[in-house]
Structure 1
Amino acid sequence: MNELSLHHLIDDLAAKGWAQRHLILPQALTRELAAECRKRAHRGELSAAGVGRGSAQQLQEGIRGDHIQWLEPGQSEASDRYLELMDELRLALNRALFLGLEDFECHFALYAPGTFYLRHLDRFRDDDRRTVSAVFYLNEDWQAEQGGALRLYPADGSEHEVLPQAGTLALFLSADMPHEVLPATRERLSLTGWFRRRGNEVW
């Protein structure tokens, strides 16, 4: 991972509550991950994502339309390498910001044309472990007119849009940054994940 880009990512996250950098990971790995996501989708391994957690989780296409599959160690060389790089980022975030991040969870996400995810926060009401959200995009030659941006709503009342261009990594504070995924005119692929601290679950 590029050390200068890593430094800027962490500085921006601390100052603004969000950060983004382009081409922070090797281009070849980005392409391998895109191919991996499409292969899993072709095999029918991605499932419609729900809203909520545990027994309260529900499928609500009017809120969220992506299909996902969680990454686990040993599934593929590309996904293992991505998890290793995210663990390097976890350690760097802890060194610089003292966040106490203990692990990282993530999934492939595929949005078909026209699907979206309405404005929401990433931290559950009954589980405060998710601390920093991380979205890595896998879509080559993405054009602004194709839509599909990640729209962030910082506390100062502004809006910021991140285009889902291959090689772009976006970070933001899970509990404090409302955001949404806008509909696109083409298929949209990403790896969406969360750096988690030790926390409290309420059952």
Structure 2
Amino acid sequence: MKIILSLFLLAYVPLLAAALSNNVLSPSDVQKISKGGVAVINNFIPETLIEAMKKDARYLFDHGEFTPDGLTNTAVSKEKQGFTARADRQTFRGGADWNSRVGDYEARSEFGTIMKNLRTELSQKLDRPSLNVDGERRHEMTYNWYEPGAKLGRHLDEHHEETKGVKGWLLGTRRSVTWLVYLNDNWSESEGGALRCYPRNGLSKNPVGCHEGNLQVGWMDEFDPIYLDCFRKSGQSALYRVVNGKRDVLSVRDFDVPSQPIEFQKFLPDLYKDRFEQISTARLDSRFANVNGNSDASIAQASLLADKSEDHFMDVIPKAGTLVLFDSVSLPHLVQEVTAKRQRIAATGWFHEDSQFLLDV
């Protein structure tokens, strides 16, 4: 009897330890996030919480707590981009925010605890310690609501601070990990609304998104992240990659980052120009177009569609309970048009890291 009990405990204790640790991410999930892929985890939250959150979102929508919040180009008017409130993503996030006592606060609080545990796990396993720092509005949590016909153009969730001009250095944190949890029962592929992601056709050589505080702006030879360092001794910037743990500066000389639209390729020697791919450009992302109002509206309109030159992508069907995670800096994505006769509803957000520098004004 003692032998049988001992064998039972040997088998049970590791399972109990895993359950108590609240681990969600497998080593494969962590590698995907850190090397430029997409982690998809099914049945992340229980059905009871899915139902409570879905009812909460409907209540908040019916009571006017959502606002249109889709991808728009500040250089081009919403009208010229074909923007309409119904065809745009709508979001519950501001004014009455996630922690307000409107709707089902208890359901959102329960979900918030789950996401905090996930954030702690990500902080440890991705070696991003400042992910685990708490603070009011430091980490974003929202509901997203798509009416039939709504979609969201191709974009990145975070850009290098210097590409935003002075305003890019005014916040102490920046988006680090993007997460989505879907709330749609029995959603099928034919109903549209898939999350289309554009990862590399394989995993990166080095961790994506950031190196020593410098954010990634492109790729070399498809899998090698290229970072932008804006704190050179010259007072200017340089493009570099990491080889054997050391920086390999690629740009011909240090340079000042120009106003948008920005094309980093011109700062590289001829040897590298054809091997370099910028993550976000005016052609692909309307938010990367000219902020001075000189861009063509067709750029913004084109970004609403998948770029046909990018033949490697993955689609995630927004089924209830599914968790999606990816690096906010390195992974372009979009939401395809909802062709269903019902709404597409999700909880979405971003975990933040500390910015490299905070401009004191």
TM-score normalized by the length of structure 2:
0.51
The CA deviation at 1:26 is 1.4
Which residue number corresponds to residue 346 of structure 2? 190
Q: Secondary structure at the match of 1:72?
A: coil
| Structure 1 gaps, min length 5 | none
* Structure with greater strand percent: 1
Q: Tell me whether 1:95 sits opposite 2:121 in the alignment.
A: no
Which residue number corresponds to residue 111 of structure 2? 82
Q: Distance in 2 between matches of 1:16 and 1:176?
A: 7
Note the alpha carbon deviations across 1:130-180, whole angstroms, 9 max, x for none.
010001100001011111100000133620111111000101110100000
Which residue number corresponds to residue 148 of structure 1? 193
Q: Distance in 1 between matches of 2:70 and 2:187?
A: 27
How do 1:123-142 residues align onto structure 2 when only pairs under 5 Å count?
A: 123-124=158-159, 125=164, 126=168, 129-142=174-187
Corresponding letter in the other structure for 1:98: D
* 8 Å contact from structure 1 (residues 50, 59) kept in 2: no
Q: Secondary structure at the match of 1:113?
A: coil
Corresponding letter in the other structure for 2:174: R
How do 1:52-63 residues align onto structure 2 when only pairs under 5 Å count?
A: 62=82
Q: Distance in 2 between matches of 1:143 and 1:6?
A: 26
- Candidates 4, 10, 13, aligned match of 2:33: 13
Q: Tell me whether 1:162 sits opposite 2:181 in the alignment.
A: no
The CA deviation at 1:36 is 0.6
* 8 Å contact from structure 1 (residues 74, 80) kept in 2: no
Which residue number corresponds to residue 98 of structure 2? 72
* 8 Å contact from structure 2 (residues 67, 91) kept in 1: yes
Count, aligned residues: 202
Identity of aligned residues (%): 29
Q: Secondary structure at the match of 1:6?
A: coil
Which residue number corresponds to residue 152 of structure 2? 117
* 8 Å contact from structure 2 (residues 139, 351) kept in 1: yes
* Deviation larger for 183-192 or 69-78: 69-78
Note the alpha carbon deviations across 1:2-45, whole angstroms, 9 max, x for none.
75642253343234432011101111111111111111111111
Q: Distance in 2 between matches of 1:201 and 1:45?
A: 32
